[in-house]
Amino acid sequence: MCVLAAAVVVMNAFSQGRFHSSCGTGIESGNLEPSPVHSLSHRALINGVGGVLLLGVVFFLCVRIVSEPDCWFHMAFGRYVLEHGTLPPGDLFSHTGFGNEWISTGWASSVLLHGLHELVGPQGLVLLVFAVVAGAFGALYVASVRLFGNRGSVVLLLLPLALGTYLRFSPRPEIFSLLCITLEVLILVTADSSPAAAAGKLPRRLWLLAPLMAIWANLHGGFVIGFAPLGLYGLHRLWLWARPRTADNFRWLLPCAAASLA
């Protein structure tokens, strides 16, 4: 971990432009302005090192023996759905509550977990967790860079976040909520800075919110937290529409409304 922390500090220093080298970079003596090649190499270094560092930490935290007891319950539920083609009429997997009404909010993820375990085995579950968590942190990384710009500082913040939440990196439906919320935030954050928005048009990516919410609702009950970013973004757009009431500003509210109804 000390090596990782040192690498982050060095990368952050590069992102702040504190280290300059005149060897082969085109920087003349007394001129601190880097050449375009030098700036491009800095950006490539920061992007590459930051991404590899974050991906390596996530891989290290995700690849471990499956010890989550609820995983087997979710796979049993998924097996029932695949075998019978319908959801269970009640609770079939507990002793004290057998037959009682029970509504699953993650049937699709249970089917996915069971199917992947049948095809690949426990290794498939581990790789699924890694893929989902890596996708979530990747989306969060891109969204944070769009907001704050400094890639080194973003990685510096995401590393302790990964270390503090790794106990939840297990084959459970809730990992899909981690992915979906970060994808939702990524869509919302990048919409205003997209080329379509710069041209005064509605970004098409906002229409991805509706299918994302519909899929999320069948993967995990945590989809309800997705209404918070939607609501905040909708209020922001409503405020912009109320000031100059134009049809162009009002159209930005339509994808948020569609996602809320999905």
Element (H, E) at 236: helix 227-242
Same domain assignment for residues 164 and 227: no
Looking at the structure of the chain, the number of domains it has is 2
Same domain assignment for residues 111 and 225: no
pLDDT band at 104 (very low <50, low <70, confident <90, very high): confident
pTM: 0.76
| Best-predicted range by mean pLDDT (20-24, 34-38, 239-243) | 239-243
Average pLDDT of the chain to the nearest whole number: 79
Look at residue 59 in the predicted model and tell me its pLDDT. Answer: 93
Is residue 187 a part of any domain in this protein? no
Domain stops at, among 133, 156, 172: 172
d(CA 167, CA 68): 10
Same domain assignment for residues 129 and 231: no
The pLDDT tens digits for 156-183 are: 889 899 999 888 899 999 999 999 999 9
Calculate the CA dihedral of residues 42, 48, 51, 55 and round it to 10 degrees: -150
Give the range of the structural domain holding residue 42, as residue numbers without chain letter. Answer: 1-15+37-172
Q: Is the pLDDT of residue 19 over 50?
A: no
Give residue 26's region: left, alpha or beta (phi > 0; psi -120 to 50): left
Same domain assignment for residues 225 and 128: no
**Is the separation of the CB atoms in 171 and 110 below 8 Å?**
no
Is residue 186 a part of any domain in this protein? no
Same domain assignment for residues 152 and 234: no
**Is the separation of the CB atoms in 200 and 249 below 8 Å?**
no
Amino acid at 164: G
Is residue 132 a part of any domain in this protein? yes
Tell which wins on pLDDT, 101 or 246: 101
Same domain assignment for residues 110 and 8: yes
Same domain assignment for residues 10 and 56: yes
Is residue 28 a part of any domain in this protein? no
Look at residue 38 in the predicted model and tell me its pLDDT. Answer: 45
Same domain assignment for residues 70 and 159: yes
d(CA 234, CA 228): 10
Sign of CA dihedral 218, 224, 225, 231: positive
The pLDDT tens digits for 47-97 are: 567 778 888 999 999 988 888 888 888 899 999 999 988 888 877 877 787
